[in-house]
Amino acid sequence: MNIYLPIAEVSVNAWLVLGLGGGVGMLSGLFGVGGGFLMTPLLIFIGIPPAVAVATGANQIAAASFSGVLSHFRRRTVDLKMGSVMLAGGILGSAAGVQLFAALRAIGQLELAVGLCYVVFLGVVGGLMLVESLQAMRRVRHGTARRRQRHNWMHGLPFKMRFRESNLYISAIPPFAIGALVGVLAAIMGVGGGFIMVPAMIYLLGMATSVVVGTSLFQILFVAAFTTIGHAVANQSVDALLALLLIVGGVLGAQVGARLGPRLKAEQLRVLLALLVLAVCLKLGYDLVRHPGELFVLGTPGR
């Protein structure tokens, strides 16, 4: 069953898109990741224009994080103060990212920039994840735990604030900066940024782990919503119909994944996810360096 997407202006198979949403949703349910970093490249692979894939990806992430935020609020595992500082950074970063996105699109280098960002971030994250999960597998075998660093250079920075739920008294600058970086990435790559934010919150800020996921989801929800509106205004590249298909598939997939997760061996799965991320990274990297069959590309003036 083909469906014509009004903004992307292409006809795609509706089941393929639903399946894509479902597959990525299942992974996110299994691993507790947003999945945006897989969704956007996969959309580009099936022929959605990159500009539409990125903007629509942000819309889908807003929906995917919503139910998560609600359940974390119910369990009181959201540090609202920390979340708000990160959100302020995120809004600023997203606004800058949307402008950068429009500028790159105007000079015809958007595809290249998105591709390069993906190769770098997927490579780093996939590599770290692989190393980390292999170490974790070894740790499970040897039974040693990892210690967290508590004092570092960040404690010398000004604008100190007390974050009670996170059990921290630190400067507001690092969380603001992390939020801003994630905001820029959200706008350019169509990702939530949890894959960067969560490790940064745990290892850099040293937040209490119980509130990390809820707080990052809180930031992601609002940054993704803001990014969607920003792209809709600046680039007119949000496809509501495509987003709807991805959301329905994604939510169902996430529920299946969340129920499947506890029955599977987490550490081995994590290795698989890392390999999947690296595979997407390699494919995108290969597309950047291999000889394109067609040397010329067409575009519309001004966008």
Partner 1 sequence: MRILLLAVLVALLPPRAPAETVVAGFSQTSVAITTSFSGSEIFIYGAIRREAPPPAGPLDVIVAVTGPSTPVVVRKRERRLGVWVNGPAVQIDAAPSLYAVATTRPFRDLISYTDDMRHRVGLDEVIRLIDAPEWLVDRQAYRDAVVRVRRDQGLYFIDDGGVSLTQDTLFQTRVRLPANLTEGDYRARVFLLRGKAVVDVYETDIAVQKVGIERFIYALAQEEPLLYGIVSVLLALAAGWSAAALFRFFVP
- Give the C-alpha distances (Å, rounded to integers) separating 194 from 144, 202, 207, 224: 27, 12, 15, 12
Is 27 among the residues that bind partner 1 (CB under 8 A)? no
Q: Least separation, in Å, of the C-beta of 168 and partner 1?
A: 30
Is 75 among the residues that bind partner 1 (CB under 8 A)? no
Burial class (CB in 10 A: 0-12, 13-18, 19+), 25: buried
Q: Least separation, in Å, of the C-beta of 205 and partner 1?
A: 28
Q: Are 303 and 49 in contact (CB under 8 A)?
A: no
> Sign of the C-alpha dihedral, residues 119, 288, 276, 64?
positive
Among the listed residues 46, 112, 140, 260, the single contact to partner 1 using CB under 8 A? 112
Q: Which residue has the tokens 């993906």?
A: 118
* CA torsion angle 27 33 36 42 (round to 10): -30
Q: Least separation, in Å, of the C-beta of 18 and partner 1?
A: 11
**Based on CB atoms, which residue is closest to partner 1, 111 or 165?**
111
**Based on CB atoms, which residue is closest to partner 1, 145 or 295?**
295
Say how many residues touch partner 1, by CB under 8 A: 56
CA 64 to CA 66: how far, in whole Å? Answer: 6
Interface residues toward partner 1, by CB under 8 A: 1-4, 6-7, 9-11, 59-60, 62-64, 66-67, 70, 108-109, 111-112, 116, 225, 228-233, 236, 238-241, 243-244, 247-248, 250-252, 254-255, 259, 288-289, 291-292, 294-301
